[in-house]
Structure 1
């Protein structure tokens, strides 16, 4: 039997301040129950002798040396800017704070 009930889903939605319809509550109850069951199955086989992995295939990072390469000049980079302030793009403030 599932530990997830419609009352629990409504309670969690209230804590998260999410307004759910009855159809959404019913749908999420089933989905969350399936997730809990899946985690329980994984927990059954996750024994101390099974090494934890973050990825099934070993990965390695490929690094390259940083090299200075030709790039745009400040004038070229700012040539299409609607507004500029010195050597920077000028954009409208998105916060009510001045920096």
Structure 2
């Protein structure tokens, strides 16, 4: 989005971040280093776009880190959680003979399966 010859990026949280290069933190060398570390290639002509995108992400993170969270309790989830599991109920297990009744192979009261690993 352009406004008075400035380029802005509007985030999903409707936050405007200046992308006109005045607050540029990411350099081409930074981009190349990240590309090497992540084993990605930067297509011809895309470096400036990627630099602006990386800078907008870092600017956004910088803005988030400035938010006063001193009186905010730490949470794992944004919404309240509720246990959906049932209570443990002890029940008798299936008798061995019933469990082995449909087994294609059995030996000495155990399931017998084909060998998977070679010696």
Query: Normalising to structure 1: TM-score of the pair?
Result: 0.56
Structure 2 residue aligned with 1:31, among 53, 59, 75?
53
Q: What is the root-mean-square deviation of aligned Cα atoms in Å?
A: 3.3
| Aligned pair partner of 2:62 in 22, 36, 40 | 40
> TM-score normalised to the size of structure 2?
0.49
Q: Deviations over 1:59-92 (max 9, x none)?
A: 1231025788xxxx667xxxxxxxxxx768x9xx
Secondary structure at the counterpart of residue 22 of structure 1: coil
Larger radius of gyration: 2
Query: Any conservation in 2 of the 1:74–1:87 contact (CA below 8 Å)?
Result: no
In 2, distance between residues paired with 1:43 and 1:61?
32
1:11 and 2:11 correspond:
no
How big is the shift at 1:48? Answer: 2.4
1:40 Cα deviation from its structure 2 partner:
1.2
* Structure 1 unmatched runs, 5+: 76-85, 91-97
Q: When the two structures are aligned, how many residues end up with a matched partner?
A: 82
Greater Cα offset, 19-28 or 9-18 = 19-28
Q: Structure 1 residues 59, 19: CA separation in 2 closer, same or farther (over 3 Å shift)? A: same
The separation in 1 between residues aligned to 2:50 and 2:76, in whole angstroms, is: 27
Could you say which structure has the higher strand fraction? Answer: 2
State the shift of 1:6 in Å.
2.2
Q: Which runs of 5+ in 2 are unaligned?
A: 1-22, 94-101, 105-111
